[in-house]
Amino acid sequence: MQALRSVLAAALTNFALGLLYCWTLFSSPIGSLLGVSDVTIGGVPALSLLAFTAGVNLYTVLSGRLPERSIITLVFATAAVGVGSFAAIPSIVTIYLGYGLLFGTAAGIGYVMALGLIRGIPAPYDNLSLGVCMTSFALTAIVITLPAQFSIDTVGVQGTFALLAVGLCLVGAIVFGIGRANDTGAVPEPRARHDPVRSTVYCAMAAAFFSCCFAGLGIMANSRMILETFGVDASAALASAAVFNLDYISGSKFGGSVAGFLGGRSTIVGMLAFLVSAIVLAMLAKSPSAGWTLTAVAACILGATASVFPVYIAQAFGRQNVVVLFARLLIFYGLAGSISPWALTSIKTWTGDLLGFLVVALCISLASAAALLITVNHRIDIPQR
């Protein structure tokens, strides 16, 4: 019974904090409310993703010093204050500092905390529990798309943010109640004795991870605008967040299995090949089908990074080093998230189309694929104490 409660607490945590992937639902209404352009608030998703990365690393500090329920309280209180600050005082400052910085940081801490909640789930339910936990983070946009649009139409985006803040408090109370009642911090993950980040294999892996995140995060944050640019009807484009996250879930769910069968490097090269193909199609064909294809492929590949890269790390450096080395890769997630969404909206505003962004994404993808292909594909053993 406790295992079920832990899985439920982890799933609820990631579902609530999955609002991080819902910016495209709120960007236009927020811009209209504040009377500002997309470029002015285009840095919000970039800041939130950068803060998310910082939060992931901050959890390792907090977990050794605070009991689990204290971290739960900190996560949901920070998230609610971040969202609620914009509801109380709608302004550019509160959307950047509230949603971007505070909520983004809380989401990063909570994301790792959720994994900690399901630590110790016995086999054969451990992998299933992990899948439920990871999927919940991307499920949010699918579930709330229509309710959020109804709320915005009814009470406005300011009122919607107030409702979201209340909802975060309620979910936090539930997670606090059903989470483990332990009074000690989590046990820190073991670290590799030798740092492999200077190896050509890891550098090529990091470049590929960055390129997948650069395209995926930029498109995720602006999927509605991208689809409308490609001629998709505005009402249909409202579903972009839900479609993106559904494809994200598919990539996350099946990517690891494919990597286990084909090999991590081959799978990542294939991912980049699909991404390059979708980008080239979008550059050549300015049609709704090209826009949907670009969005779907970018989402699927972004989701696959969560399962494919850990498999490749295990194959290249050993399973015992997956947690540490994948956590380091998330630095490139934050770097891509801090650059890509803002770059896309800026280029679109300055040039009137997406060609400049697509060219940059294409060059990065081709370069990282080439780097992977020329690296030596063998196991690098890292001695442990």
Q: Above pLDDT 70, what percent of the chain?
A: 87
Q: Provide mean pLDDT across the span 189-211.
A: 77
Task: Write down the pLDDT at residue 370.
Answer: 94
Task: Write down the pLDDT at residue 132.
Answer: 73
Checking if the pLDDT of 94 tops 60, the result is: yes
Q: Domains, the chain, ranges and CATH? A: 2-178 (1.20.1250.20), 200-374 (1.20.1250.20)
Q: Provide mean pLDDT across the span 325-339.
A: 81
Checking if the pLDDT of 185 tops 50, the result is: no
Checking if the pLDDT of 295 tops 70, the result is: yes
DSSP assignment string, 38-100: HHHHTHHHHHHHHHHHHHHHHHHHHTTTS-HHHHHHHHHHHHHHHHHHHHHS-SHHHIIIIII
Instruction: Enter the DSSP assignment of 318.
Output: -
Checking if the pLDDT of 186 tops 70, the result is: no
Angle 142-143-145 (CA atoms, 0-180°, nearest 5)?
70
**Confidence grade of residue 128 (pLDDT, cut at 50, 70, 90):** low
**Which pLDDT tens digit goes with each residue over 215-269?**
998 888 788 888 888 888 877 887 777 788 788 888 877 887 888 889 889 999 9
**Confidence grade of residue 362 (pLDDT, cut at 50, 70, 90):** very high
Task: Write down the pLDDT at residue 126.
Answer: 55
Residue 263 three-state SS: coil
Q: Report the 10 Å Cβ neighbour count for 60.
A: 15
Average pLDDT in the chain: 84
Checking if the pLDDT of 364 tops 90, the result is: yes
Task: Write down the pLDDT at residue 40.
Answer: 86
Q: Are 47 and 169 in contact (CB under 8 A)?
A: no
